[in-house]
């Protein structure tokens, strides 16, 4: 299986706190890979590294065989043209119409005629089920529609790899399922490499070809969805069975914590 | 992308090969629009050497079709590889464009009316 991304020995810190602890993983080309884990496990931090927004303390991230952690900003910008990214809140520009939001990256990075760009924008909006909404502004759209508009913008430059950060967050189950179907469509038709960060179990079961699970900054699983379901790892079982975590404070530790010692 | 304008039994044909993407589509647009400004019809486009087309390439053909239809001209796409046909199908454009498996099929279509 050919890999689109390879992470080798990645270590990162926020201040003194180690967030990613020497992690290595591979993301297969043309598949949907879900990065999952509980809140605070480091999955969004990993995503920010994959798109080159953060520099690690150590380690490398190979995209098409080239290490993006040592690239200059100008080189990184060239690589980023092959990426699409749907941010958690869709991150649309509120002062621009939906069509102008989708057109923006194309205008920024190509010398295509405006008439061509307008057709491309209508194609992308149709792809995400927003035909006819190009003249609307983000404030006039529902949460699910904003996410779809965000996907249309992420698709604007026909990326090779598209990243989704918690795509279902804040959406009702029906809208979230519609978004999952759209992700599958992108994989099947455009053969895109899709990376989804989520902790939504329903989504994972619907879209994942390949799963990477993080726990406290380490990779505790990588493999297929079937292998994940069959795993006997206690943390994975807790996650899949939605079990709450036990708090194991002893009274002395608790006193130290609240007394600030 | 490599682009060549040829005459195929008296019919203008754009023979494309390689990748039609955001960087090469402007050249395709310029050449195609030049032919359309001269009210060329029918215009054949040979896709058999195309290895990749992105949305800018598809949009360029939509623009071309719009232009050619303004004078009731005909745009005929020929020899589209399966992988690229899938994208046309997905974009629901397979029913918008006239498509033919071979140049002979496209030529025969001219005689069938």
Q: How many residues does chain B have?
A: 113
Cis omega (within 30 of 0) for bond into A246:
no
Segment B53-78 shows an average pLDDT of: 95
Task: Report the distance separating Cα B56 and Cα A226, nearest Å.
Answer: 38
Q: Within a 10 A sphere around the Cβ of A110, how many other Cβ atoms?
A: 20
A154 and A165 assigned to the same domain: no
Q: Tell me the ipTM for this assembly.
A: 0.92
**A72 within domain boundaries:** yes
Q: What's the pLDDT tens digit per position in B17-54? A: 999 999 999 999 999 999 999 999 999 999 999 999 99
Selected from 3.60.21.10, 3.60.15.10, 2.60.40.1120, 3.30.750.24, the CATH number assigned to the domain covering B2-103 reads 3.30.750.24
A56 and A6 assigned to the same domain: yes
Q: Within a 10 A sphere around the Cβ of A51, how many other Cβ atoms?
A: 20
Confirm whether pTM is higher than 0.80: yes
A71 and A97 assigned to the same domain: no
Q: What's the pLDDT tens digit per position in A109-124? A: 999 999 999 999 999 9
The token duo for B87 is 């994208």
Q: Within a 10 A sphere around the Cβ of A95, how many other Cβ atoms?
A: 9
- Is some CB atom of chain B closer than 8 A to the CB atom of A106? yes
A71 and A130 assigned to the same domain: no
Task: Report the distance separating Cα A46 and Cα A51, nearest Å.
Answer: 9
The token duo for B103 is 């140049």
Q: What per-residue string of b and e applies to B15-38 under the rule 16 or more CB within 10 Å gives b?
A: bbeeebbbebbbebbeebbebbee
Q: What's the pLDDT tens digit per position in A128-157? A: 889 999 999 999 999 889 999 999 999 999
- Is some CB atom of chain B closer than 8 A to the CB atom of A3? no
**CB contact at 8 A, A71 and A79:** yes
Percentage, residues of chain B above pLDDT 70 = 98
**A182 within domain boundaries:** no
The token duo for B46 is 């040979």
Instruction: Tell me if B55 and A115 make a contact (CB, 8 A cut-off).
Output: no
Instruction: Tell me if B22 and A115 make a contact (CB, 8 A cut-off).
Output: no
**A196 within domain boundaries:** yes
Interface mutation vs chain A, best among B59, B63, B82, B90, most A CBs within 10 Å: B59
Instruction: Tell me if A109 and B86 make a contact (CB, 8 A cut-off).
Output: no
The token duo for A7 is 């992470």
Q: What's the pLDDT tens digit per position in A233-246? A: 888 888 888 777 76
What is the pLDDT, as a whole number, of residue B113? 55
Across the A:B interface, residue pairs with CB atoms under 8 Å apart total: 44
Residue A230 maps to which CATH number? 3.40.50.300
pLDDT at B71 over 80: yes
pLDDT at B9 over 80: yes
Interface mutation vs chain B, best among A102, A107, A113, A128, most B CBs within 10 Å: A113
Candidate from A116, A127, A190 with C-beta closest to B63: A116
Instruction: Tell me if A116 and B60 make a contact (CB, 8 A cut-off).
Output: yes
A73 and A14 assigned to the same domain: yes
Q: What per-residue string of b and e applies to A74-85 under the rule 16 or more CB within 10 Å gives b?
A: eebeebbbbbbb
Segment B102-107 shows an average pLDDT of: 92
A25 and A13 assigned to the same domain: yes
What is the pLDDT, as a whole number, of residue A248? 63
A28 and A45 assigned to the same domain: yes
**A180 within domain boundaries:** no
- Is some CB atom of chain A closer than 8 A to the CB atom of B101? no
What is the pLDDT, as a whole number, of residue A261? 67
Instruction: Tell me if B86 and A189 make a contact (CB, 8 A cut-off).
Output: yes
Residue in the block written with tokens 């990162």: A12
Domain hosting A249: range is 1-82+161-171+188-261
**CB contact at 8 A, B95 and B66:** no
A115 and A39 assigned to the same domain: no
pLDDT-derived band at A3, boundaries 50, 70, 90: very high
- Is some CB atom of chain A closer than 8 A to the CB atom of B31? no
A166 and A255 assigned to the same domain: yes
Residue in the block written with tokens 């404030």: A139
Candidate from B22, B58, B86 with C-beta closest to A123: B58
The token duo for A103 is 């057109």
List A residues 181-200 in contact with B (Cβ-Cβ < 8 A): 189-190
**A44 within domain boundaries:** yes
A242 and A166 assigned to the same domain: yes
Instruction: Tell me if A189 and B90 make a contact (CB, 8 A cut-off).
Output: yes
SS3 A18: strand
Domains held by chain A: number: 2
Candidate from A111, A116, A157 with C-beta closest to B59: A116
Q: Within a 10 A sphere around the Cβ of A257, how many other Cβ atoms?
A: 10
**A177 within domain boundaries:** no
pLDDT-derived band at B14, boundaries 50, 70, 90: very high
Give every CB contact of residue A181 below 8 A, 6+ residues apart in sequence: none
Q: Which of A221, A189, A161 is nearest to A25 (CA)?
A: A221
Residue of B nearest to A118 (CA): B59
A106 and A199 assigned to the same domain: no
A165 and A149 assigned to the same domain: no
Candidate from B55, B87, B90 with C-beta closest to A120: B55
């Amino acid at each position: 299986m050919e890999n689109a991304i390879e992470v080798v020995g990645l270590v990162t810190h926020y201040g003194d706190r180690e967030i990613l602890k020497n992690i290595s993983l591979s993301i297969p080309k043309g598949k949907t890979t879900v990065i999952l884990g509980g809140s605070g496990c480091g999955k969004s931090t990993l995503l920010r590294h994959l798109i080159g927004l953060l520099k690690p303390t150590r380690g490398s991230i190979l995209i098409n065989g080239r290490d993006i952690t040592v690239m200059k900003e100008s080189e990184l910008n060239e690589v980023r043209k092959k990426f699409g990214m749907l941010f958690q809140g869709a991150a649309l520009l509120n002062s621009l119409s939906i069509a102008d939001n989708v057109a923006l990256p194309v205008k920024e990075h190509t010398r295509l005629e405006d008439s061509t760009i307008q057709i491309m924008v209508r194609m992308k909006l149709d792809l995400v089920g927003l035909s006819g909404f190009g003249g609307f502004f983000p404030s006039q759209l529902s949460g699910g529609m904003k996410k779809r508009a965000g996907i249309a913008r992420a698709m604007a430059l026909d990326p090779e790899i598209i990243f989704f950060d918690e795509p279902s967050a804040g959406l009702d189950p029906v809208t979230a399922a519609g978004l999952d179907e759209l992700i599958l469509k992108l994989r099947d038709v455009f053969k895109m490499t899709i990376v989804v960060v989520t902790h939504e179990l329903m989504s994972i079961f619907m879209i994942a070809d390949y799963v990477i699970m993080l726990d406290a900054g380490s990779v505790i699983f990588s493999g297929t969805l079937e292998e994940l379901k069959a795993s006997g790892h206690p943390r994975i079982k807790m996650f899949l069975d939605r079990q709450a975590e036990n708090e194991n404070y002893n009274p002395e530790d608790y006193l130290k914590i609240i007394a600030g010692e | 992308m490599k682009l060549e304008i040829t005459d195929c039994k008296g019919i203008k044909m754009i023979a494309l090969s390689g990748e039609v993407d955001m960087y090469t589509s402007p050249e395709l647009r310029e050449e195609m629009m030049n032919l359309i400004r001269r009210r060329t019809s029918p215009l054949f486009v040979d896709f058999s050497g195309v290895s990749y087309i992105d949305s800018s390439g598809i949009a360029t053909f939509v623009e071309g079709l719009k232009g050619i239809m303004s004078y009731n001209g005909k745009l005929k796409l020929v020899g589209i590889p399966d992988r690229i046909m899938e994208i046309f199908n997905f974009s629901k454009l397979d029913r918008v464009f006239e498509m033919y498996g071979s140049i002979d099929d496209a030529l025969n279509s001219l005689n069938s009316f």
